[in-house]
A and B are shown apart, each in its own frame.
Chain A
Amino acid sequence: MSATLTPSSAAVAATAAPGPDAAVALAVTGLSIRFGGLTAVEDMTFEVREGEVLSLIGPNGAGKTSAFNAITGYIHASSGSIVYRGAPLVGLKPNQIAEHGVVRTFQKTSVFNGLTVLDNVMVGLHRRAKQHPLAIMLGLPGVRRDEARLRDLAWEILDLVGLRARAEETAVSLSYGELRLLEVAIALAAEPTLLLLDEPVSGMNPAETGAFMALLARIRTRGITVLLVEHDMKMVMGVSDRIVCLNQGRIIADGPPAAIQSDPQVIRAYLGERYVRARG
């Protein structure tokens, strides 16, 4: 299954790939992150262009999640600048960064466990809701109309990720693969223009991974820029327009998949046996 899906989504990636002249969406410049004496990210500089899928790869502990956390406001960068569509993000809180359209998922599965799948997505729609607290308490009809509109949007998103049939289930009763889809659904509900996915297919079986790649293709047809962290090299090579490779907090390579695959430094640092094995 993954064998049939991989080329098709790769084809979508190729057709939708923005040219090198596409505007810069996210610019990370000289980013360093330190935890006490430990330097997790060192002088990291890269750009994500509008509409592209950029993958950030590197061995465990390379600093990928730390970079995500800094971009989305969960940790403070020690130095460097992060600019999205002209707006500096450093110093903003995560919810303010979401207001700029920068939304992330978490490496460790993270949903609202006690809520139904539909309500999980309804929470994600927070930014799109237009309900003043006083109007809510007075029970004004506008609030009811807005709720109906949000509900329609939630169903639409569940259709997009393929969770409609599970809408009434409590999140805890979902399978692992479904949970990972729900996370993406929650993030999509927040209307991102830049979506950061932290190892979205880790723990998925090949069929689920294939389906996820198809979902990623649908996401990018909506014009959403994607920054992806992933260990599954088949997927990374299949969906990425460009790849940035990180090792011990430093960028060691930046380029299209083909160049990364044959970059000797990358092979030595990371891909080496893992990718060779995946290919064979």
Chain B
Amino acid sequence: MSRAVSLASSVAWVGFLVTLPLWMDNLYFLHVLIIAGIFIVAAMSLNLLLGYTGQLSLGHVAFFGIGAYASSLCSLGFEIHVLDVPITLAPKPVWFSMLVAVTFAGLCGWFIGKISFKVRGAYFVIVSVSFAEVTRLVALNWLELTQGPMALNNIPFLKFWFPGIGDVDILGKVPNYYLVLGVAIVTYVIIRRLVHSRAGRAMIALRENEPLATSVGIDVTRFLVLATVVSAALAGLAGAVYAHYVRIVDPDVFLFIYTVTMVIMVITGGKGTLAGPIVGGLIFGILPEVLRGFEVKPELQWIVYGVLMILIVYFLPDGIVPAVRDAWKRWTGRTGAPPAEPTGTAVPAEARP
């Protein structure tokens, strides 16, 4: 029953989002949705770490920035000199560059996971923050490769081949909107599959009770590293999509404030829930534009952010999604037929798989 409801609501949501550009002709609002969608993908990837394994990555934007730079550089090509030896890379197709970016970000995640999960908790926070700062400094100072503060410009856009239609330029708002929507759905599905599997259960078990998890044979490092790799790769994908949408990338993509934004999205929406980062991402992705509409100064904007977050976390400590779900459960529990023994009636239906 509740499965059918959730399936129907998912279909309705996707239908709404797919048809949105057909009746929404405000291109600026579409732009806001694209950026919010990219942030939502990044927040979903962060949620895999923060929500499911319980590890706080305060340098998550590093993987986003690495994805953006890697995909841009690969599609633009570059020539650098290492110890006077020139290394050149001819420009590659954008789809290929994006794959390279995802792989490279995933490798960076593997590396960070390997070095920091020997000692976890606070240590991981420090390693991830430092890693983000190092990547920012590299982007800022390795002028030959990244152009530093001059930014990478004229980044090519993605061409997508559709059977029957041929090449489609992913250029401008509407095609990018659909690209982001597609990437967000893929990200959601991947994380959902992971969570409902042996791997996801291992991650959750480590968060809930690590000694017990290891007693039944769960290899802590292996599954934390897996979570970091997938999380980093998906954040890198978000970064690559971003780069080929805005078509200019500078070291500011590594700013700490973007990590903070992702963390806020995950925590307010509900960490460790599939829908949490989407809800949090929509609120904190669209809010800045609403505030800008009211001509709120940037400093004030951060204050509004902070106050809103404190209010949400204070009144709904687990986030919005769990709170709504509990309220829904209470409501259906009250209006439904009053079961004398709730456990006794609920079980037999599930008992025969």
Residues of chain A touching chain B, judged by Cβ–Cβ distance below 8 Å, are: 72, 74, 93-95, 98-99, 103-106, 110-115, 119, 122-124, 126-127, 129, 131, 133, 136-137, 139, 143, 146-148, 150-152, 155, 164-169, 186-187, 189-190
Contacts and interface: CB of A to CB of B under 8 A. Distances in A.
20 contacts: A94-B214, A99-B217, A104-B215, A106-B212, A110-B211, A112-B204, A112-B205, A112-B213, A124-B216, A126-B218, A148-B353, A155-B351, A155-B353, A164-B347, A165-B343, A165-B347, A169-B343, A186-B212, A186-B216, A190-B216
B217 A190 contact: yes
Contacts of A137: 190, 193-194, 230
A139 B230 CA distance: 15
Which secondary structure dominates chain A's binding surface?
Answer: helix
Which secondary structure dominates chain B's binding surface?
Answer: helix
Interface stretch (B169-177, B195-203, B282-290): B195-203
B208 A114 contact: yes
Contacts of A164: 347, 351
A196 to B, nearest CB: 9
Size bracket of the B interface: 20 to 34
Given A115-B204, A168-B346, A169-B343, A136 B194 contact: yes
Contacts of A190: 215-217
B216 A111 contact: no
Interface of B: 189-190, 193-194, 196-199, 201-202, 204-205, 208-209, 211-220, 226, 230, 343-344, 346-347, 350-351, 353
A72 B202 CA distance: 19
A122 B190 contact: no
Contacts of A94: 211, 214-215
A144 to B, nearest CB: 10
A72 to B, nearest CB: 7
A103 to B, nearest CB: 6
A187 B216 CA distance: 6
B351 A95 contact: no
B201 A151 contact: no
A183 to B, nearest CB: 8
The residue among B204, B218, B344, B350 with the most chain A CB atoms within 10 A of its own CB is B218
A147 B347 contact: no
Contact of B216 (A93, A127, A148): A127
Given A137-B190, A168-B347, A189 B211 contact: no
Contacts of A112: 204-205, 208-209, 212-213
A137 B194 CA distance: 6
Contacts of B226: 133
B103 to A, nearest CB: 14
A168 B201 contact: no
B232 to A, nearest CB: 14
Contact of A126 (B190, B196, B198, B208): B198
